[in-house]
Structure 1
């Protein structure tokens, strides 16, 4: 099967993704629709198989493929097409960008998953299984390798229908073995004994998967397949908490119930399991900002494979503690406010005791807000957190840690929606109350103070941000030590701020020290280490040491491709920085080639209108200009500007950067009157948004003046610069 093979005149095979007992999976391009897909080939039977079996297999394949194609659920892999080519049966499916859970376990060296990830994955799998079981479909081979977590956090089950083909004996005929269908570590006792298999068999397999995710090992981790099968059939599993003491007892009981030997002793359906798991979702007194934090903040708390992932949609449940699924239609009133007016608080001399169900419902709404933030829906997340904060204040009081946690999250949402001044007021309030209630050196107080520094930086008050970061860092170093992750995170932010203050040597030196410390503490390829190495590269570029910066970014890109995958947003961001370095070194042709590939990859992964795709297109236009190809550069700049204006708004900083690039192209083509209109638009918009004295406004007014000189026949030196340069992915130091 060569790389250029075309199947049925439509599907062109590109590269081999994987190989297993059932056949091969290829990345392919659907030439008719211009999209990438996955093509799964069933291993050819060959002439030694009897013809009757081959006919039965083909008919079963067609039937099961139609069944799989009819499944329409976000948690089930989409089947687009099926057929036969040169005697080989194949399925065409959506191409999944992510890691299956077997790879996830390998990535973490089979360490238990963090509890929030375990619960999130379990709920999504239960939701998908509940749907397929309602359709009368049993998977029969549920295992970590058949469950994929996408880069956005969505979890999908793969290979429905394929399992039934194996069940009819295809695997044993292909391999010559007589082992029962299924993977030994995840097979139900009734599968092993050749008994009737129904949805409860899938639930047993789910129990095996959850056991391994929760503990790092399968329930019967024995030496050979037969011993494993006997273990499933005859031996009670060790309670998961013998492997992991911090696993909640409630969640352990769910797993053990799923692993009951008799089908009748297991839960009745996957929906019930999902509700019970949702009830086990941890709700600490002060929920940490994990889901709602920026990408680097998530890296510090989760394993490397989760970097950039969101929680995905939650499975719906009947109990109030399980939030309903998030839909594009927005939140219902039930999510953002209580259905009835809260009960008035008793008199001060009678301390209130809020009902447990009310607190649980508020915790669920708080977590829903975190999930919305993880999906990038910050405006909705802020509404949820503000409503929850008001309700918690009424039930618990204004100084309660849960009330302050919700106010903290509401402030974070404000900072993410461009309302930095409002966020600063909210963070300042939280920090002041926490200092009074918890103490000045409490980690929660320091976290709030550090966020005030972040939004001060957003507001351009860099000197004040530097002062806050410095004071927080002094406490962190004294209380936690110089190598504690929170200390290193603060030092990273301080390095970023030093660069903003123009103290480039200090910024470079501190970033290099943090990178070395993180490599020592976390490992050289840990996402946090790589984030700081990017900061080192940026500082080198600011110092004009572009070859060193380019080498740094190339090393980061290689490490991220290895650890996170070639299509991970952070890998693509590092490639963007490589393009900037190439352009700054005068290697425009190489930069154009890089950016063309980057534009294609970002459009495929993120979509053609995504800000990062547009940023790569901007970089492409800049380097076309550097090569003197101004007609192409102007066309690219106009196209990007139009999309940004439509998606982001006319006064968004990215839109204005593109509009200035349009002006540069017009000027280079001698169309100075048109260029002046664009320069004036940029300057006026920046003055409205930033003020007349802001450096960006002053630079825009300078461009406008230079253009007027050109129109008046002024000095040639007045010509504006040939492009504004490739804008970086916004360097967000938050939480890193």
Structure 2
């Protein structure tokens, strides 16, 4: 493709129109139809993306491209074709001759557009949004750079659906000066900022920001600080546009302010209502001058800034917005002006006609052993502490990704002003590791904790509680990675130090012993795990009390060990006691309470008391659905338990129907290769077998085995168990020779695994 510059033997690339974060746009000729088109080539994924993620991306691209291609409206860019060529995903679109709104503002030296043009753009875009929203499609990334005005005055919205792909992969997120991946915050709705569900009203808010900018020359919250902008969207009423530009019609100002309402229900409820209001306003004669008011022709740094709680201008002695301290010092980077289309950014790639290149890594010279640093101001240290605490608050709310971004930025700034081994720098690094482990990025978390542990050992000593905390988290993520023997060694070393320094009954010592007991069970040392968990439970009861959450966590682990040892009556009794105590201490709907009730159901089923298990699971499903929703993984886990116990009672038609339903939802929510999805698919195969439908069962058993081999490896115990299921199915179908060969293959793989000591 680099030599012929021809895609799929049809689209000949002529010249590069633009280049941005997601890839390149080329002017091209459709050789089949003899017309000029635009070809958008998405930047290929880097080596850090695994194959399963790449498959998901390709499927997402095809789905989003089909959605975009189905849109037929004069206000929406037409998508002619899409596909993949030599690993590069591409879209073929109509070639637009015009300028996007950011370029028009730039051409006008950031002066606002003429009022008549602003109103006309608002009218046309509202019609396009009314159409797309009626199709159930939300853009999610409306900004001036995504709205094009053609030479004949037609206005078109670009990049429906494709912007979401870039967000998912990380192409559209921009790093601010402090390392925060913020994207472009100037046009984000409050619900987008908070991570809540968005609908068409989020597009209307973003469009309100666009109208504000083209009508006044600046976005509603045009601050120099990314976090301050986000706080502004969330908390601060925008200054009325007519304060900047008196000639704007009053009705149009009212429309913009209504679009910028913080609560979605207070905005126009759909774009059709918006279009009606614009049409009504346009029929009222108003005086619209054709020149820009000189009142706004002043430097941007002289524009008034607002406090969160008032529209009054700030005192002239201070031009900074009085926002929370943790928002200070962060910068926005460049707005999404589309200016990058004129020239390649530093990390731009050559695309289809050459090599994709990333920003070159720069290697700093080795730092001397001691670096003289200027003493940071108390104000800066206080600001960093405030931002660190803001990250902790986000973590307490379960917003781990956002918390990680905050901690990463604070860590970088603390390292710059305090040094890499300063306790405050290491505290931020520790929190970065914590957020990584809570978002499933255990390998990255391990690297971060290793760095923190080394720094703390140098700065504080090997037995300092903070050093031991970092080493204990290293053990935890080693367990997450399945490296249980290494985790055992790490836990054992930390426990010895904690007992020596803090004593055997210190809460941190007991926490380490609890984790060691948990890890022992994962090593198959069930008796040792049960004994240690029982000792920790007794100590925590003595130190913390019988109903303390930590005590109940360990008693839960005791019950688990009892079950693994086959002592199901004792396990059932312990799980019930934990569930009752948690309901009293934490509440009946607390996740830990519901987890204990689920384990009660498991124990009842193991004891052959399936009728009681069914009753429990039905109640638990109702409670899980009410608390978490019908598609939540824990709701589905309870439904899976219900299906298993229906089968145990011989109600196989009902069991099969339940398993099929859970499998379908898990496949949609978790993905086809997720372990829980495959467990449900296997349960479908079990039901088919019990109903005598062995050919259908064989298809599902093979599907599970193939997926597990692909994800886990051919000699993983779960993959081997699935191949045994397949062999059993072959036997039932009378295909004995195939079954024998498969059994032999499984046996050989197990011997190889045993020889390696796995």
TM-score category, normalised to shorter length: 0.5 to 0.7
In 2 relative to 1, CA 584–302 (structure 1 residues): closer, same or farther, beyond 3 Å? Answer: farther
2:110 maps to what in 1? none
Of residues 324, 329, 336, the one that matches 1:255 is 324
Residue of structure 2 equivalent to 1:624: 688
- 2:637 — aligned with what? 573
Q: Does 1:164 align with 2:236?
A: no
Displacement after TM superposition at 1:501 (Å): 1.8
Check if 1:33 corresponds to 2:63.
yes
Judging changes above 3 Å, is the alpha-carbon distance between structure 1 residues 422 and 357 closer, same or farther for their aligned structure 2 residues? closer
Aligned length: 506
Q: CA deviation at 1:450?
A: 0.5
Match of 1:191 among 223, 239, 250: 239
Is 2:701 the partner of 1:637?
Answer: yes
Q: CA deviation at 1:411?
A: 0.8
How far is 1:493 from its partner?
A: 1.0
Whole-Å Cα distance in 1 between the matches of residues 119 and 140 of structure 2? 32
Aligned counterparts of 1:584 and 1:323: Cα–Cα separation in 2: 59
How far apart in 1 are the matches of 2:201 and 2:719?
Answer: 41
**Structure 1 residue 464 and structure 2 residue 525: aligned?**
no
Q: 1:60 aligns to what? A: 125
CA 1:384–1:687: 2 relative to 1, 3 Å: farther
Q: Is the CA contact (8 Å cut-off) linking 1:407 and 1:426 kept in structure 2?
A: yes
1:483 aligned onto 2:547: yes
Q: Name the structure 1 match of 2:9.
A: none
Structure 2: gaps (5+ residues): 1-59, 72-116, 134-138, 148-156, 165-174, 213-230, 246-255, 264-306, 315-320, 335-379
The alpha carbon displacement at 1:634 in A equals 0.6
Post-superposition offset of 1:366: 2.6
Which residue of the partner structure matches residue 335 of structure 1?
A: none
Deviation string for 1:547-591 (max 9, x for gaps)?
Answer: 211222222222222212222222222222222122222222222
Q: Secondary structure at the match of 2:401?
A: coil
SS of the residue 2:195 aligns to: strand
Measured in 2, the distance between the counterparts of 1:75 and 1:410 equals 39
Structure number with larger C-alpha Rg: 2
Change (3 A) 1:31 1:465: closer
Structure 2 residue 493 is matched with structure 1 residue 429: yes
Please tell me whether the aligned partners of residues 475 and 487 of structure 2 are also in contact (alpha carbons under 8 angstroms). Answer: yes
Distance 1:474 1:282, change over 3 A: farther
Label 1:567 to 1:278 Cα distance change in 2 as closer, same or farther (>3 A). farther
CA distances 1:664-713 after superposition (whole Å, capped 9, x unpaired): 11111112222223333434444555699x9xx9xxxxxxxxxxxxxxxx
Residue 394 (structure 1) shift:
2.3
2: distance between equivalents of 1:427 and 1:457? 14
Distance in 2 between residues matched to 1:310 and 1:280, nearest whole Å: 18
Matched, 1:149 2:201: no
Query: 1:541: Cα distance to partner?
Result: 0.7
Asked if the contact 1:666–1:674 (Cα under 8 Å) also holds between the matched residues in 2, the reply is: yes
Residue-by-residue CA offset, 1:11-42 (whole Å, 9 max, x unaligned): xxxxxxxxxxxxxxxxxxx99939999999xx
The residue that corresponds to 1:601 in the other structure is 665
- Does residue 560 (structure 1) correspond to residue 603 (structure 2)? The answer is no
Give secondary structure in 1 for the equivalent of 2:588: coil
SS of residue in 2 equivalent to 1:159: helix
Classify 1:656/1:641 alpha carbon distance in 2 versus 1 (closer, same or farther; 3 Å): same
**Does 1:132 find its partner at 2:184?**
yes
TM-score when normalising by structure 1:
0.58
Tell me: CA distance 1:64–1:631, structure 2 relative to 1, closer, same or farther (3 Å): closer
Measure the CA separation in 1 of the matches of 2:419 and 2:458: 13
**Cα deviation 1:431-481 (Å, max 9, x = unaligned):** 110111111111110010011101111111111111111111111111111
Assess if the C-alpha contact under 8 Å between 1:386 and 1:407 holds in 2. yes
Judged with a 3 Å threshold, the aligned counterparts in structure 2 of structure 1 residues 186 and 321 are, in CA distance, closer, same or farther, namely: closer
Distance 1:379 1:156, change over 3 A: farther
In the alignment, which of 414, 424, 433 is matched to residue 360 of structure 1? 424
Tell me which residue corresponds to 1:512.
576
Tell me: CA distance 1:195–1:608, structure 2 relative to 1, closer, same or farther (3 Å).
Answer: farther
Q: 1:402 to 1:318 in 2, by over 3 A?
A: closer
- State the alpha-carbon separation in 2 of the partners of residues 593 and 35 from structure 1: 34
Q: Which of 386, 401, 425 is equivalent to 1:311?
A: 401
Equivalent residue of 1:131, what SS?
coil
CA distance in 1, matches of 2:518, 2:672: 31
Judge conservation of contact 1:77–1:158 (CA < 8 Å) in 2: no
Partner of 2:651: 587
- After superposition, the C-alpha distances for 1:311-342 in whole angstroms (9 at most, x for unaligned) are 36844899661499xxxxxxxxxxxxx99xxx
The structure 1 residue matched to 2:411, chosen from 303, 316, 321, is: 321
**RMSD (Å), alpha carbons:** 5.4
